[in-house]
Amino acid sequence: MENVNKNLGLSNNLRLKNVDVDRNAQVIVDLTTVIDAPLQTVWSLQTDINQWPSWQQDITQAQLFGPLAEGSTFKWVTHGLQIDSTISQVDPLRRIVWGGPALGIDGVHVWAFEFTPKGTVVNTTESWDGPPVEADPDGMKAQLTASLKAWLAALKKTAEAAN
């Protein structure tokens, strides 16, 4: 699909198909929250990767190399683990997807945003697969769930405080 989009000259927000998590992965976690803040505020916080450590206690380093665009990479450290991620989709104010391997775990992380009368709805879905996940799928699911809940809580707290 990527080559089709490039060949047709389509921009990121006119993609023919959204990138998804690995639906065959051993662990998939899907969480949603509503944030009482404008969509632009929430999107800006989430996509300003270099600033993640300023509002996320679990992330101690983050650096984006290049623009916020498909193919750009970033390095970040969470819970002492360095992760190298590649952005696979950016649909401004709607969706960002990244993924990459870390210690034998292949992760794909989708973030979706929608403004509603009740606030900005943020949905995050992440898949994990690989030998460490196979060895302890229940433990890995619990760890990923806790991590995503903390991320959403920090995003909500920071966006609402800025509102």
* Domain-embedded: residue 155: yes
The pLDDT score that the predictor gives to residue 8 is 35
- Per the prediction, the chain carries an average pLDDT of 91
Q: Give residue 125's domain range.
A: 22-162
In a domain, 11, yes or no: no
When pLDDT is cut at 50, 70 and 90, the band that residue 13 belongs to is very low
Confidence label for 75 from pLDDT (cuts 50, 70 and 90):
very high
pLDDT above 90: residue 72: yes
Residue 115 lies in a domain: yes
> 32 in a domain, yes or no?
yes
Q: How is the chain classified by DSSP, letter by letter? A: -HHHHHHHT--GGG-SS-----TTSSEEEEEEEEESS-HHHHHHHHH-GGGHHHH-TTEEEEEEESSSSTT-EEEEEETTEEEEEEEEEEETTTEEEEEEEETTEEEEEEEEEEEETTEEEEEEEEEEESHHHHH-HHHHHHHHHHHHHHHHHHHHHHHHHH-
Residue 7 lies in a domain: no
The CATH number of whichever domain residue 56 belongs to comes to 3.30.530.20
Q: State how many domains the chain has.
A: 1
Span 132-151, pLDDT tens digits? 999 999 999 999 999 999 99
CB neighbourhood size of 64 (10 A): 20
Give the whole-angstrom CA distance, residue 23 versus residue 140: 16
Residues 95-133: pLDDT tens digits?
999 999 999 999 999 999 999 999 999 999 999 999 999
